[in-house]
Amino acid sequence: MEVELEDIPVMYLISPSGPQGAGEAFKKLEDAIKWQLKGRKFYGTMFSGEYRVCLAITEPREPEKLGFPTWTIPGGKYFKDKIKDWEKHILEIAPKFQEIISKVNYDQSRPIIEFYRSQAELCLLVPIK
């Protein structure tokens, strides 16, 4: 399904071991905001070989207070798919992205995005031209 995303201002950490180290990097973000996890939006992005774990900014001074760098996940047209019960299907994420990329007019100038909608649902977003 095609969707249009707005730009998403985030604070982030780079996972030095790519998606394999995402769990540890997400834990660092979660630990930093543990007092207010409810309703927060978490993302994983892959661009130019770099995997970033991202947390949508809810107040302008938050990244400064917590000491995280900021970035904006670029908006635009994306192809969206979902993986239900994603924690049980982690090994299916990369192949699913490759399947989507092979079927759409992939825009390599923007990152692919994982949006952790809930514990039960992961949205995969591939930028399209």
pLDDT tens string 22-74: 888 888 888 888 767 677 899 999 999 899 999 999 888 888 888 899 999 99
Q: Alpha-carbon torsion 19, 23, 27, 28, what sign?
A: negative
Task: Using the predicted structure, report yes or no on whether residue 110 has a pLDDT greater than 90.
Answer: yes
What's the topology of domain 2-127? Multidrug-efflux Transporter 1 Regulator Bmrr; Chain A (3.20.80)
Domain boundaries, the chain: 2-127
pLDDT at 82: 95
